Amino acid sequence: MCGRYALYGPVSRLRERFGAEPGDWIDRYNIAPTQIVPVIRAAKAGGRETIEARWGLLPGWMKEPGKTAQPINAKAETAAEKPMFRSAFRRFRILVPASGFYEWMQGPNCKQPFFIRIRGGEEPMGLGGLLERWEGPEGVVWSFCILTTEPNELLAPIHNRMPVIIAPEDYDAWVDPELMEPGIVGELIGPYPPELMEAYPVGKAVGNPRSQGPELVEPFQ
């Protein structure tokens, strides 16, 4: 599962990585479900664009949002067949920009949070996500969930799932709404190469969604 992540760094780096204007991008070190965050989708005129969306998927066909679960994650292995996700998996795939994500490892007495990022900590990652548009009495709501997959060798000791990380060379194919064949899309997802990543323990303050600040991603001794 992926239940927290961070997004920070120079706007120029984010623009260069994702090929989209970031808009009002601010450093955020503890992004949690239900929050509004920037995501990257294919632009109608070509290329990519940034929109704001809420973390927790709300399908367009849902009649009573308050009475149905709004998942923050979806299993990449089954998303193409599940009614909740299959439409978005075919046509509305997005990139969720992240500087890194958090996972909790179960210890003998408590859970220890870890921060996982691209090795070196300089480059952001594009998490594979699904986007939905829901329209109600108060207007349009854009929402998304993050796909998860089996962990690689780095993540396996920490958690039994990890978010899908899309390779930069696959960004265009991933967000392409014309690419609908599940088998071909499935070739773009899977555990990210562990040698390109790093993980280290951080302080437990990240467990509180109100906590913010760069100290949350500092190594914890």
pLDDT by position in tens, the chain (length 221):
689 999 998 888 888 999 887 776 789 999 999 999 999 999 988 889 999 999 999 887 777 766 677 899 999 999 999 999 999 999 899 999 999 999 999 878 889 999 999 999 889 999 999 999 988 777 889 999 999 999 999 999 999 999 999 999 999 999 998 988 878 888 889 889 999 999 999 999 999 999 999 999 999 87
For residue 61, the model assigns a pLDDT of: 78
DSSP structure string for 6-59: EE-S-HHHHHHHHSS---S---EEEE-TT-EEEEEEE-TTSSEEEEEEEES---
Q: Is 132 a catalytic residue?
A: no
Cα separation, 219 vs 52, whole angstroms: 30
For residue 185, the model assigns a pLDDT of: 86
For residue 34, the model assigns a pLDDT of: 94
Is the pTM here over 0.85, yes or no? Answer: yes
Cα separation, 51 vs 20, whole angstroms: 10
Number of structural domains the chain divides into: 1
Q: Is 103 a catalytic residue?
A: yes
For residue 69, the model assigns a pLDDT of: 79
Cα separation, 221 vs 201, whole angstroms: 8
**Which residues are paired to 111 by β-bridges?**
106
The CATH number of the domain where 55 resides is what?
3.90.1680.10
> Torsions phi, psi of 109, nearest 5?
-125, -15
The length of the chain, given as a count of residues: 221
Can you give the residue range of the structural domain that contains 63?
5-217
Q: Which of 2, 49, 132, 145 is catalytic?
A: 2
Which residues, 6 or more positions from 15, have their beta carbon under 8 angstroms from its beta carbon?
A: 21, 22
Helix (H/G/I), strand (E/B), else coil: 125: strand
Cα separation, 114 vs 111, whole angstroms: 10
What's the N-to-C CA distance of the chain in angstroms? 25
For residue 135, the model assigns a pLDDT of: 86
For residue 51, the model assigns a pLDDT of: 94
Q: Which of 49, 77, 81, 103 is catalytic?
A: 103
**Which residues are paired to 97 by β-bridges?**
126
